Structure 1
Amino acid sequence: MTLSNPVDRELVKQYLIDLQGKVVETIEIVDGTNFLNDTWQRKEGGGGTTCIMEKGNIFERAGVGFSHVIGSKLPKSATDAHPEVANRRWEAMGVSLVFHPDNPFIPTIHMNIRFFIASKDGEEDIWWFGGGMDLTPYYGFLEDVTHFHQTIKNAIDPFGAELYKKFKDQCDDYFYLKHREEPRGVGGIFFDDYNTDSFFGSFELIKAVGDNLLNAYLPIVQKRKKNSFSEKQKDFQLYRRSRYVEFNLLQDRGTLFGIQSKGRVESILMSMPPMVKWSYDWSPDSGSEEEKLYKEFLVRKNWIAN
Structure 2
Amino acid sequence: MDTETKKQITAKWFEKLRDDICASFEAIESDNTGPMAGREAGRFERKQWQRTNQDDGSEGGGGTMSIMRGGRVFEKVGVNISTVHGTFTEEFAKTIPGADTDPRFFATGISLVAHMNSPKVPAVHMNTRYLVTTKDWFGGGADLNAPLPNSYDTARFHSAFKECCDRHDSAYYPKFKAWCDEYFYIPHRNRARGEGGIFYDRHNSGNWDADFALTQDVGKTFNEIYSALVREHMNESWTPFEREKQLEYRGYYAEFNLVYDRGTTFGLKTGGNVEAILMSLPPEAKWP
Distance 2:181 2:127 in 1: 16
Structure 1 pair 200/75, CA: closer, same or farther in 2 (3 Å)? farther
Distance 1:86 1:209 in 2: 32
Equivalent residues in 2 for 1:144-183, closer than 5 Å: 144-183=153-192
Question: Who is 1:43 aligned against?
Answer: 52
Question: Who is 1:22 aligned against?
Answer: 20
Distance 1:265 1:217 in 2: 27
Pick one of 86, 111, 118 that aligns with 1:103. 118
The answer to whether the 8 Å contact 1:145/1:186 transfers is yes
Structure 1 pair 102/9, CA: closer, same or farther in 2 (3 Å)? same
Partner secondary structure for residue 212 of structure 1: helix
Pick one of 194, 205, 218 that aligns with 1:209. 218
Q: Give the drift of 1:242.
A: 0.3
The answer to whether the 8 Å contact 1:79/1:86 transfers is no
Q: Does 1:80 align with 2:95?
A: yes
Pick one of 132, 136, 154 that aligns with 1:127. 136
Structure 1 pair 75/24, CA: closer, same or farther in 2 (3 Å)? farther
Q: Which runs of 5+ in 1 are unaligned?
A: 119-124, 280-306
Pick one of 53, 67, 71 that aligns with 1:52. 67
Q: Quick one: percent identity of the two aligned structures?
A: 36
The answer to whether the 8 Å contact 2:109/2:127 transfers is yes
Q: Which runs of 5+ in 2 are unaligned?
A: 30-40, 54-59
Which deviations, in whole Å up to 9, do the C-alpha atoms of 1:18-73 show, x marking residues without a partner? 11111112211111321010011111200000000000100100100000111023
Distance 1:76 1:112 in 2: 25
Which deviations, in whole Å up to 9, do the C-alpha atoms of 1:244-287 show, x marking residues without a partner? 100000000000111111111000001110000011xxxxxxxx
The answer to whether the 8 Å contact 2:63/2:81 transfers is yes
Equivalent residues in 2 for 1:1-306, closer than 5 Å: 8-31=6-29, 32-44=41-53, 45-74=60-89, 76-77=91-92, 79-82=94-97, 84-118=99-133, 125-279=134-288
Q: Give the drift of 1:140.
A: 2.0
Partner secondary structure for residue 42 of structure 1: strand
Aligned length: 271
Structure 1 pair 34/78, CA: closer, same or farther in 2 (3 Å)? farther
Distance 1:274 1:76 in 2: 33
Which deviations, in whole Å up to 9, do the C-alpha atoms of 1:93-141 show, x marking residues without a partner? 10000110010001011001000001xxxxxx41000000000111122
Partner secondary structure for residue 24 of structure 1: helix
Bigger mean CA deviation after superposition, 232-241 or 69-78: 69-78
One-letter code aligned to 1:16? F
